[in-house]
């Protein structure tokens, strides 16, 4: 008798504590942190906070990589804040390249919508390379933090969508990290074993100095 009563009481207690936070739409006027943005006051939340139109438009691929990544992370899409998910659109013109990059905060799952994408990542444990040609409808995962790339090897533009296991996956493009800042060339040569001439060339292309 006692145990069932306790059980029922526990259930009641749990459900009466059921003030579950349904969502935490980002208040973009406040800073982002490890736990995401602060929550917008629920009275101010509307359906528009849960809908993002940014991915309906093709990214501008007139650039050095002939490709564009359009993010739908918490900063662009406040509704994903706190949910541990986000999304992005990839447009790759003919010859387009999303250069080697990592998402420090998330794994990625990519689905090809149009064209062909040649994608790969490198394991951190033993530097094994995993490469695959992906056609329309194919899906590939890129484990959190690992270096990966996507290129368009075909004669038509490629489109893909990527989902992430974080509202704020982060994006660090390796070449930009190396060559698009004021890290001294000598130090970069010493620490990367790259030639000074190659470093200066890439700093010139990407806008780095020193
Ligand atoms: C795409 O970017 C290029 C280079 O910045 C620019 O000249 C062009 O106007 C842009 N196109 C569109 C449609 O925004």
152-183 tens-digit pLDDT: 999 999 999 999 999 999 999 999 999 999 99
- Whether the predicted pLDDT of 101 surpasses 90: yes
Phi first, then psi: what are they for 141, rounded to 5°? Answer: -105, 150
Nearest CA to ligand 1 atom 12: 60
127 within ligand 1 shell (Cβ under 6 A): no
User: Exposed, middle or buried: residue 195 (CB in 10 Å: 0-12, 13-18, 19+)?
Assistant: exposed
User: Are the C-beta atoms of residues 77 and 168 closer than 8 Å to each other?
Assistant: no
49-72 tens-digit pLDDT: 999 999 999 999 999 999 999 999
Distance 70 CA to ligand 1 centre (A): 15
**Which CATH number fits the domain 42-170, given the four candidates 2.60.120.10, 1.20.910.10, 3.20.20.70, 3.40.30.10?**
2.60.120.10
- Whether the predicted pLDDT of 16 surpasses 80: no
Nearest CA to ligand 1 atom 6: 62
Domain ranges for the chain = 42-170, 180-206
**pLDDT band of 19, cuts 50, 70, 90:** low
Average pLDDT over residues 79-100: 97
Asked whether residue 101 is marked as a ligand-binding residue, the answer is yes
Distance 209 CA to ligand 1 centre (A): 25
Site to probe by mutation for ligand 1, drawn from 57, 62, 96 as the one with most ligand atoms within 8 Å of Cβ, is 62
- Whether the predicted pLDDT of 21 surpasses 90: no
- Residue 20: predicted pLDDT: 77
62 within ligand 1 shell (Cβ under 6 A): yes
pTM of the complete model: 0.86
Chain position carrying tokens 């069932």 = 4
Distance 128 CA to ligand 1 centre (A): 38
d(CA 82, CA 128): 33
**pLDDT band of 4, cuts 50, 70, 90:** low
Chain position carrying tokens 């689905």 = 111
209 within ligand 1 shell (Cβ under 6 A): no
Token digits of residue 204: 């010139």
Average pLDDT over residues 13-38: 81
60 within ligand 1 shell (Cβ under 6 A): yes
Distance 62 CA to ligand 1 centre (A): 6
The residue among 88 and 35 whose pLDDT is bigger is 88
**pLDDT band of 18, cuts 50, 70, 90:** low
């Amino acid at each position: 008798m006692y145990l069932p009563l306790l059980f029922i009481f526990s259930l009641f207690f749990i459900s009466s504590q059921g003030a579950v936070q349904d969502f935490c739409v980002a208040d973009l006027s406040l800073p982002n942190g490890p736990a995401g943005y602060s929550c917008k006051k629920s009275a101010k939340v509307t359906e528009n906070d849960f809908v993002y139109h940014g991915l309906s438009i093709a990214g501008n691929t007139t650039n050095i990589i002939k490709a564009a990544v359009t993010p739908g992370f918490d900063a662009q899409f406040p509704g994903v804040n706190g949910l541990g998910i986000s999304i992005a659109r990839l447009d790759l013109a003919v010859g387009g390249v999303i250069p080697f990059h990592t998402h420090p905060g998330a794994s990625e799952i990519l689905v090809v919508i149009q064209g062909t994408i040649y994608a790969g990542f490198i394991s951190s444990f033993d530097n094994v390379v995993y490469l695959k040609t992906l056609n329309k409808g194919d899906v590939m995962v890129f484990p959190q933090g690992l270096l990966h790339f996507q290129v368009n090897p075909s004669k038509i533009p490629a489109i893909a969508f990527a989902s992430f296991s974080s509202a704020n996956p982060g994006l660090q493009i390796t070449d930009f990290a190396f060559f698009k800042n004021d890290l001294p060339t000598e130090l970069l040569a010493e620490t990367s074993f790259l030639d000074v001439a190659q470093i200066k060339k890439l700093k010139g292309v990407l806008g780095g100095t020193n």
